[in-house]
Amino acid sequence: MTGFTSLSRAMFLGFVRDRAALIFSILLPVLFLLFFGSIYKNSSAPKINLVTVGQVQLLTQARQADPGLAKVLAITHARSESAALASVRKGDDDAAVLEHGDRVIVRYSIADQTKAGLVNSVLGSIVQAANQAASGKAPRFTLAASQVEDKSLKPIQYFTPGLLGWALASGATFGAAITLVSWRQNKLLRRLRLAPIGTGSIVAARIWIAVAIGLIQLAVFLAIAKLPYFGLQLTAAWWMAIPLVVCGILAFMSIGLLVGAIAKTQQAATSIANLIILPMAFLGGAFIPLDFAPDWVRQASYAMPLRYLVTGMQDVMARGEGPTAALPAIGILLAFTVIVSLIAVRMFRWDDV
């Protein structure tokens, strides 16, 4: 084994045997993914729960005419009107529907305004379609509405790149900072300097291991998010996420090196790294998708390297943009790496004195 491979091996073993590192760089982000993924799983296609009292001919006909309606409407039956209304008040159902001759009566709760609006418009359109069918004429105007994004842009499409970006950022930053500080403290850095092996080999081994860990994080995230339960749909140029991950790792390693160069103790390194990474996770689009974030967050995000990693991955993995869409993000991450590394090298010390 050469110095490079044996150093890489030692570093990799040190990582996989470090429970805390595994928890923070893989387990915790995956738990977040499971958590967010489950919460927002159905939010893009909310179902309306209707409770009917007695026969509602209109709904039966509408469902026969358009089988797709079953995806939007879930219908249950109540024995009495008061039972149906109680269920709507409690929020178990979104609306109660009764039919009195030609009148269809809808009772809904305003507690969930989005649902209330949906109930009104869906039932309104059902009534309108029934009226139109009763007139015996073909409709003259039709409305074709569709989202601008890929139809599959469900929350998992946002959360996977976002949380992955956060996982990569914290893994690379903490890994580099803590390794540097603890190796300086236990004098391993000095010991390695006295071995006939170049500084380049040590740095290259560290980068290679960080990149390997990043690619493992990517693989784990994709494997989980692609489970049918979450249903991540990768778009054509998803493979551009690989160079993005590599550049992201480099950028955050450089932050870690800077933190490790400044901090004297591991506790200090952990605190400084947290101060950098945690706000960045909120402001850089990892936890809150930038499309839904307030304007000042969006402005602030331009200063965060994490933003470019996350949006770059979203573009190629989820938004269906071409491979070149990732290039600006890659360029910015690399430029950031160069600048921060240069500062880190200036601050770097082999030992404490």
Return d(Cα 153, Cα 164) in angstroms, integer.
Answer: 17
Residue 184 beta carbon to another protein: minimum distance, rounded to whole angstroms: 11
> Is the CB of 196 or the CB of 228 nearer to another protein?
196
Q: 230, 217, 228: which is closest to 313 by C-alpha? A: 217
Q: Are strands 48-53 and 103-108 parallel, antiparallel or unpaired?
A: unpaired
> Which of 110, 143, 145, 194 touches another protein (CB under 8 A)?
194
Extract the tokens encoding 92.
Answer: 């178990």
Give the DSSP letter string of 23-78. Answer: IIIIIHHHHHHHHHHHHTTTTTSPPEEEEEES--HHHHHHHHH-TTHHHHEEEEEE
Q: Can residue 350 be called a binding residue for another protein (CB under 8 A)?
A: yes
Q: What angle do CA 254, 256, 257 make, to 5 degrees?
A: 65
Q: Can residue 190 be called a binding residue for another protein (CB under 8 A)?
A: yes
Residue 40 beta carbon to another protein: minimum distance, rounded to whole angstroms: 38
Q: Can residue 111 be called a binding residue for another protein (CB under 8 A)?
A: no
> Which of 55, 120, 186, 299 touches another protein (CB under 8 A)?
186
Residue 2 beta carbon to another protein: minimum distance, rounded to whole angstroms: 7
Beta bridge partner(s), residue 106: 97
Q: Can residue 192 be called a binding residue for another protein (CB under 8 A)?
A: yes
Return d(Cα 349, Cα 180) in angstroms, integer.
Answer: 10
- Piece of 4-12, 53-61, 280-288, 326-334 that binds another protein (CB under 8 A): 4-12
- Piece of 1-9, 156-164, 223-231, 254-262 that binds another protein (CB under 8 A): 1-9
b/e burial code for range 257-277 (CB count within 10 A of at least 16 → b) = bbbbbbbeebeebbebbeebb
Q: Which residue has the tokens 């996770």?
A: 281
Residue 261 beta carbon to another protein: minimum distance, rounded to whole angstroms: 18
> Is the CB of 164 or the CB of 209 nearer to another protein?
209
> Which of 1, 45, 134, 148 touches another protein (CB under 8 A)?
1
> Which of 67, 196, 200, 228 touches another protein (CB under 8 A)?
196
> Is the CB of 44 or the CB of 185 nearer to another protein?
185
Q: What is the CA radius of gyration of the chain?
A: 28
- Piece of 50-58, 180-188, 248-256, 271-279 that binds another protein (CB under 8 A): 180-188
| Chain contacts with another protein (rule: CB under 8 A) | 1-3, 5-7, 9-11, 13-14, 17-18, 182, 186-188, 190-197, 350, 353
